[in-house]
């Protein structure tokens, strides 16, 4: 008992308590850095994850941009290809790639038939048919205008002397333009002799003035465009009574390699002109057609 009482029991209790506290606090102190390091590691992981996500987003955006650009390029190329596909060959392209072939009576007949097939009955179309006797020999692309006319009109000097009617001509030459009209008149010098030649086109010349010229004196040859000659026939400033030869400038090609019948406006006027008594005169045998 003495020994027990002599001992400083309170100090032992305090020490025990202190030791227990110290023992309890030490692991806490050790756990705190672990927690801080784990937090740091978590923060680093989150930062790395965020950077990875940003990189993924940037990559995805770049992919979308490249896809959009590639799609735009593809659309542009497809549009170009469509435009190329839609581009059709023009008459000029076809004519430049093909060799010139001299016109024939069958060409004129097929033109008349195709033009009137949808607007006229079968009986009316039969009235448009022309036999071979209605045609002169066609130019084989070796003749000039003078040499061709000398071949198809061997008795021209006698024919022109017999012609005395006004508002009519013996030889009517049809071409596609005013410039071509002047060119053909120059080519007539070796053929016409004493014949009077008149140009009939719409450029800078009124219809009434041409009607006065036709009515004043005798005209043997007229060269002009189908539009103006059609207008003169409609107004009876020009008649087919004395007409003997109708020559179409069929084989001539302009700068775009187009013939007279390849130009829609000129072709329409030509077909309209033929309806003003010329086909009927050919069927009756008074007028013959030549394709130059």
Q: Which two tokens stand for residue 150?
A: 């000398």
Q: Under 8 Å CB-to-CB from 265, ≥6 apart: which residues?
A: 227
Handedness of CA 120, 126, 129, 134 (dihedral sign): negative
Query: Going residue by residue through the chain (292 aa), what tens digit of pLDDT does each one get?
Result: 444 444 454 445 444 444 443 444 444 444 444 445 555 565 666 666 666 555 555 545 555 555 556 556 666 666 666 556 656 666 556 666 667 788 999 999 999 988 888 787 888 788 788 999 999 999 999 999 999 999 999 999 999 999 999 999 999 999 999 999 999 999 999 999 899 999 999 988 899 999 999 999 999 999 999 999 999 999 999 999 999 999 999 999 999 999 999 999 999 999 999 989 899 999 999 999 999 9
Q: Shortest CA distance to 291 belongs to which of 193, 173, 204?
A: 173
**Structural domain boundaries in the chain:** 100-291
Architecture per CATH, domain 100-291, reads as: 3-Layer(aba) Sandwich (3.40)
Distances (CA, A) of 98 to 88, 256, 257: 16, 13, 10
Q: Under 8 Å CB-to-CB from 7, ≥6 apart: which residues?
A: none
Distances (CA, A) of 125 to 75, 112, 121, 182, 283: 52, 9, 6, 35, 13
Report the SS3 class of residue 247: strand
Look at the pTM and tell me if it is higher than 0.75. no
């Amino acid at each position: 008992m003495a020994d027990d009482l002599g001992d400083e029991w309170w100090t032992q209790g305090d020490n025990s308590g202190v030791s227990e506290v110290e023992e309890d606090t030490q692991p806490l102190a050790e756990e705190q850095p672990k927690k801080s390091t784990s937090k740091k590691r978590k923060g680093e992981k989150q930062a790395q994850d965020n950077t990875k996500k940003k990189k993924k987003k940037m990559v995805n955006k770049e992919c979308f941009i490249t896809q959009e650009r590639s799609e735009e390029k593809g659309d542009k190329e497809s549009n170009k290809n469509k435009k190329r596909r839609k581009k059709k060959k023009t008459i000029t392209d076809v004519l430049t790639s093909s060799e010139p072939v001299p016109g024939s009576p069958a060409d004129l007949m097929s033109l008349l038939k195709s033009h009137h097939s949808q607007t006229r009955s079968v009986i009316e179309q039969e009235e448009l048919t022309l036999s071979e006797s209605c045609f002169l020999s066609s130019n084989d692309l070796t003749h000039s205008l003078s040499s061709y006319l000398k071949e198809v009109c061997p008795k021209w000097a006698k024919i022109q002397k017999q012609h005395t009617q006004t508002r009519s001509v013996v030889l009517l030459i049809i071409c596609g333009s005013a410039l071509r009209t002047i060119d053909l008149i120059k080519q007539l010098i070796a053929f016409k002799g004493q014949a009077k030649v008149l140009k009939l086109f719409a450029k800078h010349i009124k219809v009434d003035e041409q009607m006065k010229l036709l009515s004043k004196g005798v005209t043997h040859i007229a060269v002009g465009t189908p539009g103006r000659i059609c207008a003169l026939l409609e107004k009876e400033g020009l008649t087919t009574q004395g007409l003997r030869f109708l020559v179409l400038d069929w084989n001539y090609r302009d700068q775009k390699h187009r013939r007279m019948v390849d130009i829609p406006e000129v072709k329409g006027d030509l077909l309209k002109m033929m309806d003003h008594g010329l086909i009927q005169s050919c069927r009756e045998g008074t007028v013959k057609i030549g394709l130059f």
